[in-house]
Amino acid sequence: MKLPADQQPPTGMPPVAWSNSGELLMYSDIKTLRNGSALQPGQVLPPDTVRELRRAYYSAVSHMDDQLGKVMAALEASGFKDETVVSFWGDHGWQLGEHGEWCKHTNFELATHAPMMIRVPGLTDKGMRTMAYTGRLRKCLLCAISIIKAADFTKTGSGQTYGRKNSNKGPF
C-alpha cells in the first residue's frame, strides 16, 4: 500500500481552499490519535495510519463492487436484464491523503471527480468511459424523482417546455 504522491497542499493555495478533514475526526480512533485537533495545511497523519485508511477505502470499493455484482446477477435472474437501464453513481470524489486532505470537502480534482456509470442493454455492452462531476447533486436528485413525471409527458410529445403560471416553487 503506497503513500500519496504528494501529501502537501499546493503551493499558492488560498487558505479558504483547505478543508480540515473534520469528517475524519468524527472517527474515535483518529480523534484520539489527533487529540481532537483537525488537520491544518501541511500536517499529515502517520504513514502507517495513511496506509491503513487507504487500504480500508480500497477494501470498501471492492465490497461495493461485489454488492453491485449481486444486484446485476439478481436482475439477470429476474429476466429483465435486457430491458432495464442501470445507472450507478456516487455524489462526490474522495481524498485519501493527497495534499494531506481526507474525505470530500474541497474543490480539488480528487474531491469533485465522481463515478457515474450507465448500462443500457445493447448499447453499452462494449463499455464506454467519460468523466463526471459532483456539485449539482440536489437538483439531480429532484430530476431523478421527476423522471416518472417526465414519462407521463411521453404521450404529449417531447421537446416542449411545460410552463406553470404564477408559480415560484421551481421546476418541480
Q: Within 50-79, which residues bind another protein (CB under 8 A)? A: none
Q: Among 34, 6, 5, 9, which residue's Cα sits nearest to residue 22?
A: 34
Size of interface with another protein, in residues (CB under 8 A): 77
| Shortest distance in whole angstroms from residue 123 CB to another protein | 5
Contacts with 137 (C-beta within 8 Å, 6 or more apart), sequence order: 91, 92
Specify the stretch interacting with another protein by CB under 8 A; choose among 42-50, 63-71, 72-80, 98-106. Answer: 98-106
Q: Which of 2, 5, 70, 77 binds another protein (CB under 8 A)?
A: 5
- By CB under 8 A, the residues from 16 to 35 that bind another protein are 16-20, 22-23, 25-26, 31
Contact 106, 63 (CB under 8 A): no
Residue 124 engages another protein in binding (rule: CB under 8 A): yes
Is 22 or 69 the residue whose CB approaches another protein more closely? 22
Is 57 or 89 the residue whose CB approaches another protein more closely? 89
Q: Which of 44, 75, 96, 116 binds another protein (CB under 8 A)?
A: 116
Q: How far apart are CA 116 and CA 128, in angstroms?
A: 11
Measured in residues, the chain has a length of: 172
- What's the grid cell of residue 145? 424523482
Is 61 or 120 the residue whose CB approaches another protein more closely? 120
Is 12 or 79 the residue whose CB approaches another protein more closely? 12
The dihedral built from the CA positions of residue 97, 9, 115 and 172, taken in this order, carries a sign that is positive
Contact 102, 34 (CB under 8 A): no
